[in-house]
Amino acid sequence: MKKIVSFLFLFFVGMVQAQQLNCTVQVNAAKLASTNNQIFKTLQNSISEFVNKTDWTGESYKQNEKINCSMVIIIDSYDSNQFTGTIQVQSTRPVFNSNYTTPVFNYNDKDLAFRYIEFENLNFNPSSFDSNLVSILAYYSYMIIGFDADTYALKGGKNWFDTAQQIMSVAQQGGYKGWNQGDSNQNRYFLVNDVLSGTYDSFREVLYKYHREGLDTMNTDLKTAKEKIIESINTLNVLYKIRPNAFLTRVFFDAKVDEIISILSGGPKVPLADTIDTLNKVSPINSSKWATIKL
């Protein structure tokens, strides 16, 4: 009996360690004049349990290795178990030998629509479409894991991006917006397809260099680390020449704009004129922010 209990305990621990995300979930229905607020609390708890307790990769993560992330869902309408709104997905990762966490992924999806019955189970099967809510949550869970892996190894997130792409392809049969090429030029379809396209290899290179060769080495050689970060930013010029105003460039700066300003404004002095020109060229929407960089 003791051996059986020990086995069950070890099995349970293994199951816990296999979960990869530490995700804070918020469902906000403040826009609605609804008297049934309990369903939104139930929805929030269901999503949190689904995202945090699903084994997405089969790999064992210790508690401190889990990817910290958040999903904020704003409900715009709710009627007869049909929900519409937006979902803001963010993730961070720790920087080596420091107490600092860096933003990695920050994306606001405005094509959130799904059917949900209170207390229904959320079950994920990558080869079938059962629920648009489940497909969206699974898709972004894999995108978070993929982006995180790309910051540790060059194209390290490929397997997880491949799975996200599979989810996208299967979900197209559901008829919901956001999964198809014709819906928009900046949606779930293009986000994962662009990441996996060889056209955007320089973007993947930036993710690796900026984090692994730049941020992660700041504790040992601040000047060289800053130069690596500048080098990675300048690499975006390669992408700009191929795809001016690329979707992925916007995704990168949505996460990084404030951090880049802080890094370039502080630390050892290095030449910045060319880098600021690059920033203004590849991300003109942030030109007023680039102007605040202290030379």
What is the DSSP code string of 135-198?
HHHHHHHHHHHHHHHHTTSTTTTHHHHHHHHHHHHHHGGG--TTSSTTT-SSSHHHHHHHHHSG
> Structural domain tally of the chain?
2
Q: Are residues 150 and 277 in the same domain?
A: no
| Same domain flag for 61 and 109 | yes
Confidence of residue 62 (pLDDT cuts 50, 70, 90): confident
Q: What is the mean pLDDT of the chain?
A: 92
Q: What pLDDT was estimated at residue 60?
A: 84
Is 295 part of a structural domain of the chain?
A: no
Give residue 18's pLDDT band: very low, low, confident or very high (50, 70, 90): low
94-126: pLDDT as tens digits: 999 999 999 999 999 999 999 999 999 999 999
Tokens 């928009």 sit on residue: 184
Q: Are residues 67 and 152 in the same domain?
A: yes
Is position 11 within any domain? no
Is 16 contained in some domain? no
Q: Based on the domain organization, do 54 and 120 belong to the same domain? A: yes
pLDDT at 4 over 70: no
Last residue of a domain, one of 168, 196, 224: 196
Structural domain that includes position 284: 202-290
DSSP 3-state assignment of 51?
Answer: helix
Same domain, 33 and 151: yes
| CA-only gyration radius of the chain, Å | 21
Please check whether residue 14 lies inside any domain of the structure: no
Say what the pLDDT of residue 36 is: 77
pLDDT per position as a tens digit, 132-157: 999 999 999 999 999 999 999 999 99
Same domain, 118 and 55: yes
265-275 per-residue burial string, b: 16 or more CB within 10 A, e: under 16: eeeeeeebeeb
Please state the rounded mean pLDDT for residues 236-263. Answer: 96
Residue 127 half-sphere exposure, CB side, CA atoms within 13 Å? 0
Q: For residues 145 and 160, is the Cβ–Cβ distance under 8 A?
A: yes
Rounded to whole angstroms, the Cα distance separating 293 from 260 reads 9
The answer to whether residues 74 and 142 belong to one domain is: yes
Q: Is 80 exceeded by the pLDDT of residue 184?
A: yes
d(CA 104, CA 70): 12
pLDDT band at 61 (very low <50, low <70, confident <90, very high): confident
Report the alpha-carbon distance of residue 4 to residue 22 in Å, rounded. Answer: 30
Query: Is 5 within the bounds of a domain?
Result: no
Shared-domain flag, residues 152 and 279: no
The CA-based dihedral angle spanning residues 237, 204, 142, 159, taken in that order and rounded to the nearest 10 degrees: 150
Predicted confidence (pLDDT) at residue 17 exceeds the cutoff of 50:
no
With 0-12 / 13-18 / 19 or more C-beta atoms within 10 angstroms meaning exposed / middle / buried, residue 99 is: exposed
The reply to whether 40 and 69 lie within a common domain is yes
**Percent of the chain with pLDDT strictly greater than 90:** 87
For residue 151, being part of any structural domain is answered with: yes
Which are the contacts of 55, defined by CB distance < 8 A and separation ≥ 6?
15, 18, 19, 20
pLDDT of 64 reads 86
Q: Give domain status of residue 59, yes or no.
A: yes
Q: Which residues contact 270 (CB under 8 A, 6 or more apart)?
A: 223, 226, 227, 230
| Residue 127 sits in the same domain as residue 183 | yes
pLDDT of residue 107: 98
Average pLDDT of the segment spanning 65-92: 97
Question: Looking at residue 191, what is its pLDDT?
Answer: 98
41 shares its domain with 177: yes
pLDDT number for residue 11 = 36
My answer on whether 151 and 234 are in the same domain is no
Q: Taking the mean position of all CA atoms in its chain, how far away is CA 34?
A: 31
Residue 12 banded pLDDT, cuts 50, 70, 90: very low
- 10 Å CB burial of residue 197 (0-12, 13-18, 19+) is middle
Single residue among 169, 196, 223 that ends a domain in this structure: 196
In the block, residue with structure tokens 């349990």: 49
Q: 87 - beta bridge partners?
A: 73, 109
- Whole-prediction pTM: 0.93
Question: CA torsion sign, 149 to 194 to 283 to 111?
Answer: negative
In a domain, 1, yes or no: no
Taking alpha carbons only, the member of 182, 141, 183 closest to residue 164 is 141
Q: Which of 196, 217, 234 is the last residue of a domain?
A: 196
Among 183, 288, 203, smallest CA distance to 243 is for 203
